[in-house]
Amino acid sequence: MKTKVYTENLNKASSNVVFTIVIMIISFIVGQLPHLPDSIGFGGFIPILTPPLISVFTLILYFISRIFTKKLNWLITLFGGVYNLYEAFDWYLYYKNYK
């Protein structure tokens, strides 16, 4: 009985959109944490632009998939969130000790 409640919540569009927005905010914050060198130039916009772009792309894929099927669409949201966090932490760890 509990699994049915969990899958119903996972398949709701509102929970997937909220999850994507929360992950985008976390990725944005993590991407802003390292001190960037002065020589980076306009590359400093990468952690500002990447999380929203990945999130918008994830939501577009999610809503397109909802047209065709109503089950397991949350996997697209989960994959997009993990990829968004991966990019943010990759940026953070690369420039964390950069001098």
Residues 37-70: pLDDT tens digits?
777 777 778 888 899 999 999 999 999 999 998 8
Give the max Cα distance, the chain.
57
pLDDT band at 99 (very low <50, low <70, confident <90, very high): low
* Domain parsing of the chain, residue ranges: 2-96
Average pLDDT, stretch 79-92?
93
CA 42 – CA 22 distance, rounded (Å): 26
Name the nearest CA neighbour of 99 among 42, 37, 33.
37
> Mean pLDDT, to the nearest integer, of 31-36?
81
DSSP states of 19-51: HHHHHHHHHHHHHHSSPPPGGGGGGGGHHHHHH
Identify which has the larger pLDDT, 80 or 41: 80
